Amino acid sequence: MYKHILFATDLADDTDYIITKVRKMRGYCNAKLSLVHVVEPMPGYSYAYLGIEDIEGQLIEEAKNSLAKLGTQLAVSENELWVEVGPTKSKILDIAQQVGADLIMCGSHGRHGLSLLLGSTANAILHGAQCDVLTVRLPQ
């Protein structure tokens, strides 16, 4: 079946349901698992308004720490954790090709913040991926 699953996560607190599905799919297929989170770049003018020089750097560090915790939880090696900066769709698709994923798993929609972006991202991944895509709908 699937040999390499890429889990594209927004690292939201309410993704335990998706994590459970990822764990089950991985176990069912006995597949390798990689994790990716994409930090959307902040527009340059936002730095002036917020008065903080390296907000993006802080977001990247927080994402790396959160992804490392998730990697530990899912028994994913450190070299299979990816934090990227850029357009979410293209970065996820790039990593999928780079690692040779034959399945991308992601949430189908969210309720707030970056989760909301993942809804449109899931649709873009679905239409742009060269492998299978499994979108997991969060329960209401």
Which CATH number is 8's domain given?
3.40.50.620
* pLDDT computed for residue 129 by the predictor: 96
Q: Per residue in 64-82, pLDDT tens?
A: 999 999 999 999 999 999 9
Instruction: Name the β-bridge partners of 8.
Output: 36, 106
* pLDDT computed for residue 77 by the predictor: 97
Q: Which domain holds residue 88?
A: 4-136
DSSP single-letter state for residue 78: G
Helices (H) and strands (E) in the chain, counts: 5, 5
**Whose CA is closest to 130, among 105, 95, 99, 93?**
93
Torsion of CA 139, 130, 68, 77, to 10 degrees: 120
Neighbours of 91 (CB within 10 A): 21
Average pLDDT by stretches of 10, the chain with 140 residues: 96 88 97 96 60 72 96 97 95 98 86 52 88 88
The total number of structural domains that make up the chain? 1
**Whose CA is closest to 134, among 13, 28, 46, 48?**
28
